[in-house]
Amino acid sequence: MIAFSMSEEQKQLQALAQTFTKNEIIPIAAEYDRLEEVPWQVVEKAFELGLLNASIPEHVGGLGLGMLEESIIGEEIAYGCMGIYTVLMASELGITPILLGGSEAQQKRFLAPMLEKPCLAAFALSEANNGSDAAAMGTKAELIGDEWVINGSKMWISNGGMAELTVVFASVDKALGHKGTVALVVPKEAAGQSSHKIKHKMGQRASHTAELVFEDVRVPKDNILGGIGDGFKIAMKTLDKTRIPVAAGSVGIARRALEESVKYAKVREAFGKPIANFQAIQFKIAEMLIGIETGRLMTWKAAWLVDQGLPHGTESAIAKAYCSEMAFEAANQAIQVHGGYGYVGEYPVEKLLRDVKLNQIYEGTNEIQRIVISRAALR
Ligand code: CAA
């Protein structure tokens, strides 16, 4: 049976995230976009409110929120700033492989400390020359005695270098393809790591993106999640889940685009009346609302499948591709509604467009989503 209503707990979480966004994010979003820095005070506040790393399960001491709750919260936070949401979302991306591939003991060991203070995780899969073809990773892992020794580099890593722990995907033997891959948990303090912040991004500038370099980085033998050959599959299963928050964030951006457009169209006059009176504007607004409603349904359906323990990879890819494209168009049309004013930073709509572009690229480009979707259709 399908119910289109939220539980009391979900409504409370939504209200909490809405208030958090209104008070902590919207007032500072433009400034941190300009500064190209993570507003750490927002991460601290999210931690205080239980909105950071909220999927850490109850057996570890966390809230154990489901994907549907995460999606409800994500839409609200991204409404305020997608870049800031990426900081929180990428931390969930970093802990998900531990939840999917780690033993209960490993989950306790790695995740319990993350509940004690505001801190972030990261997920290091992409490399400078291996983004979409993730199985071709060149970062090397070698088991020497009781330690894994990691050498190589990773690119485009959200929270890279800031995170307390990073799940690093590497290969013990490139010739084995995905069958030679491993997922290793690398704590921040492990020696031999360096990071280089990527600056002058088009959007999502309040998120932190870095290149990571590993030079003889040593971690204990039992920092491996699963076994040799499991790394790629753990990464794929992780992304099957974490593409849903990207979809949810996109819905949040589209909702902001719609609300800013409505607000502006009611006060801006042309030809002697508010532009909201013209069908040219009304149709744009209607299209935005159609997209938001459709996208949210897809996102929540994919999230519901995850929470039921049902297959969800195709639905997650559909939601991610559709919502990021729908939100891109909503942000684009919001600028059009605002005319020249939409093109400058005085109104938030130009930032929406810059921010949402990345949603079509990260956690698998939308072309990769279409590969995942078409494979399912052709199977
Ligand atoms: N779940 C479980 N197993 C899976 C799987 C899934 N979703 N997808 C594939 N596999 C398994 C296959 O069954 C196969 O196993 P066997 O060999 O045992 O049969 C194995 O993995 C290899 O699968 P494929 O042959 O299908 O793999 P492929 O090389 O053709 O690649 C791909 C498939 C879909 C293109 C994949 O490479 C992919 O998703 N690429 C995109 C990577 C990506 O999303 N990167 C984003 C990084 S995160 C990020 O953006 C950073 C950030 O900070 C936000």
Q: C-alpha angle 68/210/204, rounded to 5°? A: 55
Q: Work out the pLDDT band at 3, boundaries 50, 70, 90.
A: confident
Residue 349: alpha-carbon gap to chain centroid: 20
Instruction: Let me know whether 55 and 105 are in one domain.
Output: yes
CATH number of 84's domain: 1.10.540.10
Closest atom of ligand 1 to 313 CA is 7
Ligand 1 centre to CA of 170 (Å) is 14
Same-domain pairing of 149 and 101: no
Q: Is residue 105 part of a domain?
A: yes
**Residue 232 Cα, ligand 1 centroid: separation in angstroms?**
6
Same domain, 316 and 199: no
Within-domain flag for 310? yes
What's the distance, CA 198 to chain centroid? 17
Whether 35 is in a domain gets the answer yes
User: Is 13 within the bounds of a domain?
Assistant: yes
What CATH code is carried by the domain that includes residue 374? 1.20.140.10
Are residue 258 and residue 374 in the same domain, yes or no? yes
Which of 255, 236, 232, 239 shows the shortest CA–CA distance to 316?
239
Burial category of 306 from C-beta neighbours within 10 Å (exposed 0-12, middle 13-18, buried 19 and up): buried
In a domain, 2, yes or no: no
Decide: pTM greater than 0.85.
yes
User: 162 with 278, same domain?
Assistant: no
The yes-or-no answer on residue 363 being catalytic is yes
Q: At a CB cut-off of 8 Å and minimum separation 6, what does 271 contact?
A: none
Nearest-angstrom CA–CA distance, 27 and 317: 33
Domain membership of residue 289 as a residue range: 233-378
Q: Relative to the CA of 136, which ligand 1 atom is closest? A: 29
* Ligand 1 pocket test target in 120, 178, 208 with most atoms within 8 Å of CB: 178
- At 4 the pLDDT is 84
Can you name the residues that pair with 225 across neighbouring β-strands?
183
Element (H, E) at 13: helix 8-20
The CATH number given to whatever domain includes residue 205 is 2.40.110.10
Q: Are residues 237 and 364 in the same domain?
A: yes
1 inside domain:
no
CA 355 and chain centroid, separation: 12
Amino acid 232 reads: F
Which of 84, 115, 146 terminates a domain? The answer is 115
Ligand 1 atom at shortest distance from the alpha carbon of 134: 37
Domain identity same for 279 and 144:
no
Reported as a single tens digit per residue, the pLDDT across 208-253 is 999 999 999 999 999 999 999 999 999 999 999 999 999 999 999 9
Nearest-CA residue for ligand 1 atom 27 is 135
What is the CB < 6 Å shell around ligand 1? Answer: 90, 93, 123, 125-126, 132-135, 156-158, 178, 232-233, 236-237, 239-240, 313, 362-364, 368, 371-372
9 CA distance to ligand 1 middle (Å): 34
Percent of the chain with pLDDT over 90: 98
Residue positions counted in the chain: 379
What separation in Å is there between the alpha carbon of 86 and the centre of ligand 1? 22
Structure tokens at 326: 């729908």
Are residues 126 and 74 both part of a single domain? no
Write down the pLDDT at residue 1.
Answer: 52
Q: Tell me what the mean pLDDT of segment 180-186 comes to.
A: 98
Q: Are residues 247 and 130 located together in one domain of the fold?
A: no
Res 77 pLDDT > 80: yes
Contact between residue 160 and residue 122 where contact means Cβ atoms under 8 Å apart: yes
Q: Which pLDDT value is given to residue 362? A: 97
- Residues 173 and 221 placed together within one structural domain of the fold: yes
Same domain, 247 and 354: yes
Per-residue model confidence (pLDDT) at position 276: 98
Q: Tell me: the pLDDT tens digits for 304-345?
A: 999 999 999 999 999 999 999 999 999 999 999 999 999 999
Does 3 map to a domain? no
Closest-CA residue, ligand 1 atom 11, reads 233
Q: Establish if 103 belongs to a structural domain.
A: yes
CA dist., res. 167 & res. 120, Å (int): 12
Number of domains in the chain: 3
Q: How do residues 269-297 score in pLDDT, each as one tens digit?
A: 999 999 999 999 999 999 999 999 999 99
- The pair phi, psi for residue 72, each rounded to 5°, is -65, -45
Q: Please tell me whether residues 161 and 263 are part of one structural domain.
A: no
Q: Which helix (H) or strand (E) element contains residue 215?
A: strand 209-220
Domain boundary residue among 195, 228, 261? 228
Atom number in ligand 1 closest to CA 123: 53
Residue 232 to residues 69, 179, 239, 266: CA-CA distances in angstroms? 27, 8, 11, 51
Boundary of a domain, candidates 53, 83, 115: 115
Alpha carbon nearest to ligand 1 atom 40, residue: 132
Marked catalytic residue, from 70, 164, 363, 367:
363
Q: Which residue's alpha carbon is at the smallest distance from atom 4 of ligand 1?
A: 233
Q: Is the pLDDT of residue 105 over 90?
A: yes
Top mutation candidate among 92, 133, 154, 236 for ligand 1, by most atoms within 8 Å of CB:
236
